[in-house]
Structure 1
Amino acid sequence: MTSELVTNALTHSAGDRFVCRLYLTAALIRVEVEDQALGPGPPVLRRPGPDAPNGRGLLLVDALSSAWAVTGCPGRPGRTVWAELRRETGPSALAPPRAE
């Protein structure tokens, strides 16, 4: 998810800087990528055909995340694309069973 957001910012924002932030809470992992929003338009979810060479970045983010959106940057030009993952609250499916 992080790779897709960063790649999209580098490929489509037409700016010379971006900022990546990671927030962790007990319930969520949130990734934010801020860019200068100098590209031709806002990020949009696409449904490319099977032979299309690109256009799947936000489709993957949408499939993997529990929520995502594009927001403006208050007080300055730019935009932030963020995505969240819910953290598991129970035992991990990958954790070995505990001996009783």
Structure 2
Amino acid sequence: MADSASDVFSALAHPTRRQILQDLKGGEMAAGEIAARFNTSGPTISRHLSVLRQAGLVTERRDANRIIYSLVGDRLALSVGDFLSTVCPEQIVLREVRKRSPRAATT
């Protein structure tokens, strides 16, 4: 799995990869199911899936002769959140306020 936020942002640069991530939010899918959603060749979708996997945004597992893909839960949120925190310090403050607000409501 990649450690670099730049890998995540590079992976997000292509609309097909962003659509794949949106499709996977509903649960895991086989590579063939993913490919069937696009008017693109199987090898092209396979390359997109490889980029997403290299960026750590999806995982794959084998099920007989199928490859099943699923989202890596927090990877995208953490990468984008870390980036926003560096370029938009207000995000840090907002995050802290959200953390405290449930406790403030219970006291």
Structure holding more strand per residue: 1
TM-score w.r.t. the length of structure 1 is: 0.32
Structure holding more helix per residue: 2
